[in-house]
């Protein structure tokens, strides 16, 4: 929880700094245009990837499989879309990393390992 609080303070501060430098270097209007452009492209990608993930999960359920990988993809897409809503270049970079399937794999790996460790510690209980 303390890492999350740190990220909530540090990442926006870095984003504001980068936006200020960008506005001074490229100008205010190009910076605003780029922020809007990344938001529109990010919304399109999040929608496309989200619909593909839902379709894949439905196919897995139709065949009687547990859609575990699709659930992790959905969580990654949700995080990526949320990061793209925040104005700033750093959050946009991480948002796009969560949206693209090849760059999403390391984040899914970290999520799986985190869940596995919490289950082994007894913080999460699975009821059958």
**pLDDT one-digit tens code per residue, 16-48:** 999 999 999 999 999 999 999 998 998 899 999
Between the alpha carbon of residue 121 and those of residues 4, 72, 113, the distances in Å are 20, 21, 12
pLDDT per position as a tens digit, 62-81: 998 888 889 999 999 999 99
pTM value is 0.83
Domain-located, residue 39: yes
Angle at 46 between CA 113 and CA 31, to 5 degrees: 110
Domain-located, residue 40: yes
Domain-located, residue 4: no
Domain-located, residue 125: no
- With tokens 């993809």, the residue in question is 73
**Alpha-carbon distance 68 to 74, whole Å?**
10
How many domains does the chain divide into?
A: 1
Q: What six digits make up the tokens of 1?
A: 């929880």
Domain-located, residue 102: yes
22 is in which domain, residue-wise?
A: 10-120
Domain-located, residue 104: yes
């Amino acid at each position: 929880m303390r890492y999350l609080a740190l990220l909530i303070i540090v990442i926006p501060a870095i984003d504001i700094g980068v936006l200020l430098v960008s506005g001074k270097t490229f100008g205010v209007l190009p910076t605003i245009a780029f922020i809007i452009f990344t938001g529109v492209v990010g919304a399109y990608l999040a929608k496309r990837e989200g619909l593909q993930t839902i379709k894949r999960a439905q196919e897995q359920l139709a065949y009687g499989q547990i859609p575990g990988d699709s659930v992790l993809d959905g969580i990654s897409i949700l995080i990526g879309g949320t990061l793209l809503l925040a104005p700033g270049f750093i959050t946009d970079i991480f948002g796009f990393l969560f949206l693209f399937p090849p760059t999403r794999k390391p984040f899914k790996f970290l999520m799986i390992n985190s869940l596995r460790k919490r289950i082994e510690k007894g913080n999460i209980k699975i009821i059958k």
